[in-house]
Amino acid sequence: MYVPGNNPNMMADCMIYGADVILFDLEDSVPLQEKDAARYLVEYALRYLDFSNTEVAIRINGMDTPYWEEDIEKIIPEKPDMIRLPKAETKEQIKRLDEEISKIEEKSGIKVGNTKIMVSIESAKGLKNAYDIATASIRLQAIAIGGEDFTADLGVKKTREGNELLVARGVLVLAAKAAKVDVIDSVFSDVNDEEGFRMETEKAKAMGFTGKSVINPRQIPIVHDVFKPTEEEIQEAIKITQVIEEAKKKGSGVISLNGKMVDKPIVEKAERVLELAKALGLVEKVAAC
Amino acid sequence: MISSKAGTEEKNDCIIELEALEKGEGIEIEIESPIKKQFGRHIKETILEILKERCISNVKVRVTDRKALDFSIRARLETAIDRLGGEQLEA
């Protein structure tokens, strides 16, 4: 969930709504004359607020601006989980960002590599380079699409149906899957249109996205509801992990469940389902049924 | 008069205004807050702590508090110090 980095009121309680990741923004939501203030607010928020198990990412300013270096200089020592780079266009940018983060980590006594990176692709050029970007650094965890900027770059209007972003979303998902990183869908700006938001989230899931950015706490339960595995999927995943364990004990090479062979992709899918179910607190509930 | 300002009047925020004083004039702190009775001393201690960290000993600080949390008071003061000239003040 995006939280403007210059709004202490929203920052103070943003962690109570159940978002998987809090994304403090130093970029678009912060006016130029308030960049200095937002850096301090985010720095002290990281130091003083308790985010419990919620991951914290910071969206820094783009590398085409004079602000991003000061952003990471102030923020990295406070150990955020992730830095989100907007407007990523080339693998060289990611390598440079990685190097600069490493220097600050080293200087601050933080284990080099501790800070992860996610990027957002907001231009046709960035999309063309998406796989190279996604594999440019070991820190890279996820790629996302910035729908508003992307459609502006294409010179088209962003619509409720989102057909103008269909190709871009598809290409991004392919790049992310090939690079084995998460892929996060763009925000849906009309917070009052819950039906439109659910429709877009369902589409994103069906296309292979692993999450969706939100701008309002009201959108969080819908994302969780759409992305949560079904009870049947969880039961199946539990059974698969059980037969794997049994087969390991027996030293059996070929594993089957209900007459069907359980191979590597099925195991990986089961593991993903269980990971997600655990994160949403669904595993114990289903296992007890 | 050299002065600076940071913050907003929004809920959970505060406005910090600084005015550079002459050497030897010391630190003056004025606090306006709906929770001054309960937290006025804490706000003052927080302000003094940051001023000490930044080696600033001659300044007037006016705090207009809207129930700001610690992180916000600290951030607003640091911003106001930078905007006032930061390092030059510290000397």
| Four-way CATH pick for B3-90: 3.30.230, 3.30.300, 3.30.420, 3.40.50 | 3.30.230
Dihedral class, residue A18 (left if φ above 0, else alpha if ψ from -120 to 50, else beta): left
B91: confidence class by pLDDT, cuts 50, 70, 90? very low
User: Alpha-carbon Rg of chain A, whole angstroms?
Assistant: 20
Q: What are the tens digits of pLDDT across the range B27-59?
A: 999 999 999 999 999 999 999 999 999 999 999
- Full-model pTM: 0.89
List the domain boundaries for chain B.
3-90
Please check whether the domain covering A2-227 is classified as CATH 3.10.180.10.
Answer: no
What the block records as the tokens of A66 is 């004079």
CB atoms within 10 A of CB A109: 7
The ipTM value here is 0.94
Q: Is B7 on the interface with A (CB under 8 A)?
A: yes
Select from B12, B68, B78 the Cβ nearest to the Cβ of A40: B78
The answer to whether B83 and B6 are in contact (CB under 8 A) is yes
State the pLDDT at residue A255.
Answer: 78
Looking at chain A, which residue has its C-alpha nearest residue B66? Answer: A9
What the block records as the tokens of A102 is 């490493």
Give every CB contact of residue A173 below 8 A, 6+ residues apart in sequence. A183, A207, A208, A209
Binding-face residues of B in 27-46 toward A, CB within 8 A: none
| Pairing of the two strands B59-65 and B27-32 | parallel
Residue limits of CATH 3.20.20.60 in chain A: 2-227
In whole angstroms, give the CA distance from residue B52 to residue A276. Answer: 47
Closest CA to A84 of A177, A3, A165: A3
pLDDT tens string for chain A (289 positions)? 999 999 999 999 999 999 999 999 999 999 999 999 999 999 999 999 999 989 999 999 999 999 999 999 999 999 999 999 999 999 999 999 999 999 999 999 999 999 999 999 999 999 999 999 999 999 999 999 999 999 999 999 999 999 999 999 999 999 999 999 999 999 999 999 999 999 999 999 999 999 999 999 999 999 999 999 888 889 988 998 888 888 888 777 777 777 777 888 888 888 888 888 888 888 765 555 4
State the pLDDT at residue A137.
Answer: 98
* B69, B77, B84: best to mutate for the A interface, most A CBs within 10 A: B69
B86: burial class by Cβ within 10 Å (0-12, 13-18, 19+)? middle
Select from B11, B12, B75 the Cβ nearest to the Cβ of A40: B75
